[in-house]
Amino acid sequence: MEYQTILVEQRERVGLITLNRPKALNALNDALIDELGAALDSFEADDGIGAIVITGSEKAFAAGADISAMAGWDYVDVYKSDFITRNWERVRRARKPIIAAVAGFALGGGCELAMMCDIIIAADTAKFGQPEVKLGILPGAGGTQRLPRAVGKAKAMDLCLTARFMDATEAEKAGLVSRVVPAERVLEEALGAAQAIASYSLPIVMMIKESINRAYESPLSEGLLFERRVFHAAFSLADKREGMAAFLEKRAAKFSHR
Ligand code: CAA
């Protein structure tokens, strides 16, 4: 498929998607989100891909939903088109792990897109924020829900209500990002993490993602039960036999990813 707003490539077992609307700081318009969804569809259908990285440019991961498009919309427009949910939910529904490699601005929908990913690896230049309040709107792609889960209520309120930006060090301390690295190494770091993930058993990796996501959606007793069921299911996989045999034979495991 020919993409206009993103670049899509494969690096070994990792699918790499680069948001590519540099003149608008990767503002997330419908065309971009539709293409992102199509790229995710193709990576998810491909057994040769075990993990996905989404990145932007040096200056911006993404500066938010496209304000020039939104400026002309009224309530009926966004209600009828189910703006945000319609195509943005595709990222949330992904079953393979997605790492966001964030340099520069990750604002509004850009921060929300990063939070829909499973891991955020940040450059030391990264700036996170939910400045929608300045536009007379509020976060609409999960910012008021995922941010408090990631950084706690006080900091989420602070960011959403004052519109201030949070730098990479603060974001790591608050638990939003898992690693901070120098800007020139952020993509390499994310690809390295993705390659490590993609080297493991794909069904096991998917089960781990699904189980951790359950922690957000269910009480502890339900989550533990879900984990136990999936844990038991793992014992039916050839990859389990291979992983344990490899350990006992003191060699590297060769997973079939099936
Ligand atoms: N939508 C559309 N265009 C955008 C954009 C956005 N979110 N963010 C930046 N741009 C465009 C600018 O209009 C500008 O275009 P022109 O050169 O044609 O004028 C270009 O990108 C470069 O931007 P700036 O000149 O503003 O660059 P800067 O370095 O001075 O400032 C910035 C950078 C602080 C990120 C600033 O661009 C900014 O504040 N952007 C908007 C951030 C924002 O409010 N995001 C939330 C959007 S609402 C949302 O996302 C809703 C939701 O929950 C889904």
Instruction: Judge contact between 159 and 107, C-beta under 8 A.
Output: no
E strand or H helix at 161: helix 153-162
Ligand 1 centre distance from Cα of residue 109 (Å): 11
Answer left, alpha or beta for residue 142, where phi above 0 means left and psi between -120 and 50 means alpha.
Answer: left
What was the pLDDT predicted at 68?
Answer: 97
* Closest ligand 1 atom, residue 107 Cα: 45
What is residue 257's predicted lDDT score, i.e. its pLDDT? 82
User: Got the DSSP string for 32-63?
Assistant: HHHHHHHHHHHHHH-TT--EEEEE--SSEEE-
CA distance 166 to 3: 32
pTM above the 0.95 mark? yes
Q: Which amino acid is at 80?
A: K
Burial (CB count within 10 angstroms: exposed 0-12, middle 13-18, buried 19+), residue 251: exposed
What single-letter amino acid sits at 246? A
Tens digits of per-residue pLDDT, 109-147?
Answer: 999 999 999 999 999 999 999 999 999 999 999 999 999
Which tens digits make up the pLDDT trace of 169-212? 999 999 999 999 999 999 999 999 999 999 999 999 999 999 99
Q: Which atom of ligand 1 is nearest to the CA of 84?
A: 54
Residues touching ligand 1 (Cβ under 6 Å) are 24-25, 27, 63-68, 84, 105, 107-109, 112, 131-132, 135, 139-141, 143
**Mean pLDDT score across all residues of the chain:** 97
Q: Report the distance separating Cα 22 and Cα 20, nearest Å.
A: 6
Task: Read off φ and ψ for residue 74, nearest 5 degrees.
Answer: -115, -175
pLDDT band at 1 (very low <50, low <70, confident <90, very high): confident
Cβ atoms within 10 A of the Cβ of 12, count?
12
Instruction: Tell me the two tokens of residue 165.
Output: 């930006």
Q: Tell me: pLDDT of 258 over 90.
A: no
Q: Which domains does the chain have, with CATH numbers?
A: 6-198 (3.90.226.10), 201-249 (1.10.12.10)
Q: Which residue has the higher pLDDT, 85 or 115?
A: 115
| Reported ipTM | 0.98
Q: pLDDT class for 82, splitting at 50, 70, 90?
A: very high
Q: CA 253 → CA 193, 221, 244, distances in Å?
A: 18, 33, 8
Residue 232 pLDDT exceeds 90? yes
Q: What angle do CA 250, 208, 179 make, to 5 degrees?
A: 85
